[in-house]
Amino acid sequence: MVVSVTGARVRLGLLGPLQVVRGDGPVVITAPKHRAVLAILAINAGRPVSAERLAEELWQGSEPAFARKTVQGYVWRLRKVVGDVLRTRAGSYELDGDAPETDAARFERLLSDGRHALRERRPEQARASLGAALALWRGPALADVPATPAVRARADRLEEARLLAVEAALEADIELGATAAALPRLRELTRVHPVRESLHALLMLGLYRSGRQAEALAVYGGLRATLVAEHGLEPTPAVRDLHRRILAADPALIPAPIS
């Protein structure tokens, strides 16, 4: 998010430790609860957040006697950093939703652009958008912000979106013929996410296109065994269909060159 503070530009970043940059340099917010308030307001940019809700987020049922007054003090200090874009509205606080975006919003737009390009069979454009999206990350989302319910929920959603971006980027690599680079990363990710079927399907497809049909079938067998043992479920119809097509050496799995 970019805002004006007496002529200086301020940028807020959520894709890693909470980042505040004003003008040419970073602004360090040392107090964890100050970071939490700023993060909660950024998550809810354009919507008022009451002092009571901020207190509930910060202390989660163990609010001190003067919680509301304490929250007012936190906001007063933060306003010195982000300026009058942080507004007070009848006992609530609001970060201007019309100000330029957070890095998270830019990431989500680039992710959407990349996935759309994949659907349109434009893998080079997809890879460029997804690479730019992933380059915005500096570490785990909101890494140094106390894990209030709102912060934890937003961080979880951002991390899931990050994994979607990684998946889509690997899919673009496979469509571009860069399977040698994609396969080691896919093997690592399927170990970390042993029941994430979309990753296993990409690994199966990449192996098959690399001439390793038996390995692709083995990946399916391992996925199915894990799903059945841990959840009593079969793979989805789409993954079963991919397995059937690999077993039959369906020539359509090797696409025509992209013009």
The pLDDT of residue 232 is above 90: yes
CATH number at residue 250: 1.25.40.10
In a domain, 253, yes or no: yes
Angle formed at CA 211 by CA 205 and CA 216, multiple of 5 degrees: 45
pLDDT at 257: 65
Task: Kindly indicate the confidence band of residue 4, based on its pLDDT and cuts at 50, 70 and 90.
Answer: very low
Nearest to 7 by CA among 101, 78, 84: 84
In a domain, 207, yes or no: yes
In a domain, 109, yes or no: no
pLDDT at 63: 83
CATH number at residue 72: 1.10.10.10
DSSP state of 13: E
Convert the pLDDT of each residue in 146-179 to its tens digit: 999 999 999 999 999 999 999 999 999 999 999 9
| Domain ranges, residue 218 | 179-259
Last residue in a domain, options 95, 126, 160: 95
pLDDT at 7: 47
In a domain, 245, yes or no: yes
Convert the pLDDT of each residue in 10-27 to its tens digit: 788 999 999 988 776 788
Last residue in a domain, options 70, 95, 120: 95
**Average per-residue pLDDT in the chain?**
91
Number of domains the chain is built from: 2
In a domain, 203, yes or no: yes
Chain position carrying tokens 């503070």: 5
Nearest to 216 by CA among 225, 227, 232, 205: 205
- For 100, phi and psi rounded to 5 degrees? -55, 165
The arithmetic mean of pLDDT across residues 50-72, rounded, is: 91
Angle formed at CA 227 by CA 222 and CA 233, multiple of 5 degrees: 135
In a domain, 90, yes or no: yes
pLDDT at 6: 47
Convert the pLDDT of each residue in 95-139 to its tens digit: 886 654 689 999 999 999 999 999 999 999 999 999 999 999 999
In DSSP terms, which residues pair with 25 in a beta bridge?
Answer: 22
Kindly list the strands in the beta sheet with 25-26, ordered across the sheet, starting from the edge strand earlier in the chain: 2-5, 8-13, 19-22, 25-26
Question: Residue 106 to residues 5, 9, 113, 152, 253: CA-CA distances in angstroms?
Answer: 22, 17, 11, 20, 34
pLDDT at 167: 98
Q: What is the pTM of this model?
A: 0.89
In a domain, 127, yes or no: no
Query: Where are the strands (E) in 36-85, listed by range?
Result: 49-50
In a domain, 83, yes or no: yes
